[in-house]
Structure 1
């Protein structure tokens, strides 16, 4: 894609990102609200990486860095724009960010039922880690529909 632009999100874009995720991402999270996205951007301004084409939001990835770990979430591409190298460009930007801050390994959160996403991550050089399982405890009630 010749007009693909990769950039970080700004706080005023939280609603647009949420609308994009409703179209392009699998599953929802307890943090899928304007406050959650805004807090992410304020806390770690380089974390939410967006892809635009023709002025339209077509892809996203969260590349979170907490000073200890490199965490990847919400790799999503608009269905009409898939298989055009957008996820590759987003992951390259995330990996560049992690390398610049001294990150040593990226960990991606991928839904078990999302086989398409698993193939994308595998093609990008990531592998499933069998030794670990995710343990969670919500500290707040999820918003309706999550």
Structure 2
């Protein structure tokens, strides 16, 4: 495994996080801008967990906790660093965060067409729940 620093993102990381997601993450979000990332980090400073190697972001996961639900988003690893244990370390950090906060179960958002992502989540012990579907309504245009 590559030598990793696991740390929470800061507002100063916002542009680097966005650049990393463009290269490494599947799909997009309405909050994929500097303001969106900054708001996340300012609201919950421990939510956006980064894996950094040689000063470069090589992995991320958003570990969102609302006091009721533990939710994971944006698990991504730089293509050149995949299959080196980066996602395992990030998920362990997120799960430890949730356990310390009193979480009982973790939900993960995974794009249906993300075959690689589904394999990663399955290998990490997560199971698909077919009885649930996500319903969304944008608040802005």
Structure 2 alignment gaps of length 5 or more: none
4+ residue runs over 2 A deviation: none
Please give the TM-score of this superposition, normalised by the length of structure 2: 0.98
1:100 partner SS: helix
Distance 1:140 1:12 in 2: 26
Q: Which residue of 1 aligns with 2:22?
A: 22
> 1:14-93 maps to which residues of 2 (within 5 A)?
14-93=14-93
Q: Is the 8 A contact 2:73 2:108 kept in 1?
A: yes
More relative contact order in 1 or in 2 (CA 8 Å, sep 6+)?
A: 1
Q: Is the 8 A contact 2:2 2:84 kept in 1?
A: no
Matched, 1:136 2:133: no
Q: Is the 8 A contact 2:59 2:77 kept in 1?
A: yes
Structure 1 alignment gaps of length 5 or more: 142-146
2:73 partner SS: strand
> 1:96-135 maps to which residues of 2 (within 5 A)?
96-135=96-135
Please give the TM-score of this superposition, normalised by the length of structure 1: 0.95
Cα RMSD of the aligned pairs, angstroms, is: 0.7
